Structure 1
Amino acid sequence: MTQARTMDLGVSAHLEPILAAVRDMVRNEIMPLDEQFLAEVGTAGDRWAYSPRQTEILETLKAKARERGLWNLWRTSAPDNNLTTVEYAYLAEEMGKAHLGAETFNCSAPDTGNMEVLDRYGAPEHKQRWLEPLLEGKIRSAYLMTEPDVASSDATNIEMSCVRDGCDYVLNGEKWWASGAGDPRCAIYIVMVRTGDADTPKHLRHSMILVPADTAGVEKLRPMQVYGQDDAPHGHFHLRFTDVRVPAANLLVGEGKGFEIAQGRLGPGRIHHCMRAIGQAEMALELMCKRALDREAFGKKLAQLGANFDIIAESRMEIEMARLLCLKAAWMMDQGDARAAAPWISQIKVVAPKMALKITDEAVQMFGGQGISQDTPLARMWTHLRTLRLADGPDAVHRRQVARAELKRHTQEKI
């Protein structure tokens, strides 16, 4: 008889002091500086440069995190970091409550996923040149997959040409939504390219290659706007590659390994997004409650008007349900079977952003006109969460994967 595995999703004794330290730093040191940091965008004369004050804020916070041992906490599989994915979920939730939360602890997307790729698949020279400075927080990176002219939710459509020419590969094509490419510290792109022809099996047609951001022929066409905002100085850029020559040694693993690498990268990244989204939902509910108790209309506190009791209660229950699903997905990852964890990651990737978006929208409604203004973080949070329902795979793709896994339990036919 097979012994059932115990699923412990609680805060461990090992995690308790780390979680307390992260929570305290987010609440008392990072959040008070978020608005100062954002107010500085563009004051250096260029929206894609950091002002001296922004640099001071960010680097001071990062230095404090390092001094306290709160650095690279996302590296759950690293020998020098004995946190589980479940334990990291609690930490990422706290980071999600502040704009600068993740970067302060060197746990930002897309860098965590890119560092994972370089650690797993990079050659020693790749690690020395790019992984080490990323782990030190000295540079940033971008991940280039989505393309403007194909439905990139089906990654087999990716068309950027990558042709071997002697000791180099030559790249031609366009990418967009290259998150982080606007940052002047962004030094390296990890790029999904097509190396196989029509006769190659579709999941072996693609590869990943490292492209230094300053390579000749890489052109920044425009920053993509998200609901009218350019998210400077981070940015989500539309790039054009014209006869971009990259050493053949920059290809990761070998031709045709793009999907294998992508799945290794996207699994952890997707769940990290969900963990932070739960933190944003907690922040939105906190703001909603404070507003409901502080503001009066028609002779009553807002909490006592309309269906606001129900809205607050439903918000709390939906956060708790989503958190439990996220923790279970994290636990599945900790078991070491990526295939078994995949349906659970797809579930939380649908549930967490939708839940957090709904609660944030309710908080906006509670604030009225102020809720859609720059006077609260809610509008910025709403925009990010709505985008998250598309990033790392749209909801429809993840629901499809969940449904296929469920249907396979009842049929031998290919679904």
Structure 2
Amino acid sequence: MRKILTFIAFAFSCTLAIAQPNRLITTGTIESLESKILNETRRVWVYVPGSALNDISGPKSYPVLYLLDGDAHFLSMVGMIQQFSRNTLCPEMIVVGIANTDRTRDLTTSNISGPIRMMGNAVAPTSGGSDKFLAFIEKELMPFIESKYPTQPYKVFVGHSFGGLTVINALINHPHMFSAYLSIDPGMWWDNEKLLSQAQSVLRNKKFEGKSLYMSIANTLLPGMDSAQAMADTTMQSQFFRSIMKLDGAFKANKANGLRYGSKFYAADDHNSIPIISIHDGLRSIFSFYQFNLTAAEIAGFNAETLKRIDAHYESVSKLMGYPVKFPEMMANALAYRFMGEGRMAESEMLFALNIKNYPNSFNVYDSMGEFHEAQGNKQKAIELYKKALSIREFPVTRERMERLLNEK
């Protein structure tokens, strides 16, 4: 079903649902849940990859990315994941954008009762609720998402500014909650760098095997000031930058704790412009192990050794992700049909067989292998495979093809 699958692969790679009555393009769903922990109704924006709706291939489940300030960054995050996953730079993921109610309450790690100089002497009497907010995510939001959507255990946590502060809090004090973290220009200055001091101690004494973090640092330096001058400065004006750089130094000084860590200072971006480039670079860093590249030479000389390299790569990826990850079904399918069109039938059969091994519940893998055997003149085997495909789902083209072969016998 080469032509049909080519269309389906394109349509679902866009992963956008079109609402037919008014032709609107939609990217997700707004869900509401009642939180007993926070004593309020919380709204989240949920994106599910369009491939979840594709019943031609087998059932799918996905890692989940939890995004703070979801109402601000949801569309950019979804767009980046769509682009990257389409090119196998990262897995397809469910995105859960958490909309704010009381942002300072939820995303700060300790209470400051008096005026806050870094915020123009504003007061934040409800501040310091980050741990309670993380309890809401762990005990209420995660079970809610996992009960309604096809999830895998790998979880990513992303936040900017105070959201970045809460991401660091989750890593330091609640490391069991997430697998990977993206902290964008975090507000480590909060409460005289209280969480920073805690993190410096914890990073020396705790192991973070299997965890990864990317932290971005914006250019919040005063005009004419370089980073060395900022680190030597003691004034409030450079504290935002200094506090993040101190944390960066603590991560780099404690490599033995097992954390996969990456960071970058963005000289051309300020605190407000940094999220987009951080999402790009953060996902690339966190999932640097994910992509499998078949070289032109390997495609030209495809053989059993190539299959071994594919299996070894995805075995390694599976260990890092914490669940089985296989060579993408549609990628193998497309390459198998390419080989078939070039008359490279042995290589084509290898890939169709790989798909059957990896995706035994997929209609497509049996239908495609059926086409292969039909092209080889093996009608009986093709009929058996078409029957197997149709036992998984009904599809008119496959039904017609099988009936034609039966009538030719």
- Smaller-chain TM-score bracket: under 0.3
> TM-score, normalised on structure 2?
0.23
Q: Rg bigger for which structure?
A: 2
> TM-score, normalised on structure 1?
0.22
